[in-house]
Amino acid sequence: MIRKIGVLTSGGDSPGMNAAIRAVTRCALGNGIEVYGIEDGYRGLIEGRMRQFSKTNVSDILSRGGTILGSARLPEFKDRDVQLKACEILKEKEIDAIVVIGGDGSYRGAKALTDLGINCIGLPGTIDNDIAGTDQTIGFDTALNTVVDAVDKLRDTSSSHHRCSVVEVMGNHCGDLAVYSGLSCGAEIVVTPETGYDEEDILDRLRYLDNTGKSHAIVIICEKICDVEALARKISASTGFSGRSTVLGHIQRGGSPTPNDRVLASRMGEKAVDLLVQGVGGHCVGIKENKIVSFPIDEALAMPKTSRKQLYRLFDRLV
Ligand code: ADP
Ligand code: F6P
């Protein structure tokens, strides 16, 4: 039987993390379990920085972006000695289990702690949507809305000036934010790790679009693929459009979570507590075909990510 659990947020923050913290806290309290909010991810854990949460400590956070707990990256958490220190602190404070809200790196930390005797459950908190084992991560929908809002605005000004807007979106090495926003905004070109990058092909396509009389063009590119400013200069130099680049950056990580993210985070938070109450550890929670599911973390990390081929095919049919 568990009496005390901890909750932490780790890695890049994402909108909806607070909704998950609230759901974990309230579901646990409802089961008579004490809850401790651990500050700044694994860093706060090894420094013993945590505070007890009552129901009201998580009031008014459902609609807030970011994470009230703070998040951090602690590369040293890969070391067994550091993990052992975390276990020592948890044992000292009599915390039986932890809910870790973060991405796949954070999941690895959660698995390591479980192997050392502290049951952990991972919730997928990242805007990248790059976790296999779930159709959607907490924060992806909000980030997508932010990107769509920005690209719609860029389209207005681009069409006034016969410009091509090159928009870099986040996603780490996952093209989901790019392809979903490309479809949502009717972009002319989407470039992701899945499509590959062929500069000549992009320039040829833009020349063709210019010749067909298009007033503007939008190219959405996943980060870490090319220098978007250099590409925009090439577009100005060798197509009829003048190129402008926009790196959306961390704006994509902020903002009030969408209702979809709030509900997803709440459902996942509930599932995490249910699993811990059943004595399960080393699992992560996902949503598959609108059902909340869980898998062993190792299994989820080894799964291939759901193919987006149909989305790319649809994009190609619609441009
Ligand atoms: P995300 O969780 O969003 O993928 P990171 O990859 O930066 O973000 O991981 C977040 C944190 O999780 C890291 O700073 C580190 O503390 C911990 N972590 C990452 N990889 C491992 C690992 N292999 N073993 C233990 N902990 C890890
Ligand atoms: O994983 C979330 C994410 O925002 C990625 O999309 C991006 O590559 C990275 O984190 C940026 O990290 P940082 O917070 O260190 O700038």
The larger pLDDT score, comparing residue 305 to residue 202, is at 202
Ligand index nearest the alpha carbon of residue 127: 2
- At 308, is the pLDDT very low, low, confident or very high (cuts 50, 70, 90)? very high
Using one digit for the tens of pLDDT, what is the confidence trace for 280-290?
999 999 999 99
Q: Give the pLDDT score at 63.
A: 98
- The sign of the dihedral angle between the CA atoms of 188, 177, 294, 283 is positive
Given a contact cutoff of 8 angstroms between Cβ atoms, the answer to whether 16 and 264 are in contact is: yes
**Residues with a CB atom less than 6 Å from ligand 1:** 10-12, 42, 73-75, 77-78, 102-106, 108-109, 112, 126
Alpha-carbon distances, residue 113 vs 33, 48, 87, 121, 234 (angstroms): 20, 15, 7, 10, 50
3-class state of residue 153 by DSSP: helix
What is the whole-number distance in angstroms between the Cα of residue 158 and the centre of ligand 2? 27
Using one digit for the tens of pLDDT, what is the confidence trace for 165-201?
999 999 999 999 999 999 999 999 999 999 999 999 9
pTM: 0.97
Q: Give the pLDDT score at 80.
A: 98
Alpha-carbon distances, residue 190 vs 6, 131, 161, 166 (angstroms): 41, 21, 21, 10
Cα–Cα distance measured from residue 90 to residue 105, given in angstroms and rounded to the nearest whole number? 20
What is the whole-number distance in angstroms between the Cα of residue 59 and the centre of ligand 1? 29
Using one digit for the tens of pLDDT, what is the confidence trace for 33-47?
999 999 999 999 999
Using one digit for the tens of pLDDT, what is the confidence trace for 222-245?
999 999 999 999 999 999 999 999
Q: Give the pLDDT score at 313.
A: 97
Q: Give the pLDDT score at 306.
A: 86
What is the whole-number distance in angstroms between the Cα of residue 13 and the centre of ligand 2? 8
Using one digit for the tens of pLDDT, what is the confidence trace for 79-99?
999 999 999 999 999 999 999
Q: 137: Cβ below 6 Å to ligand 2?
A: no
Name the percent of the chain lying above pLDDT 90: 98
Give the residue, out of 81, 106, 253, with the most ligand 1 atoms within 8 A of its beta carbon, to mutate for a pocket test.
106
The residues annotated with a catalytic role in the active site are 128
Q: Give the pLDDT score at 305.
A: 87
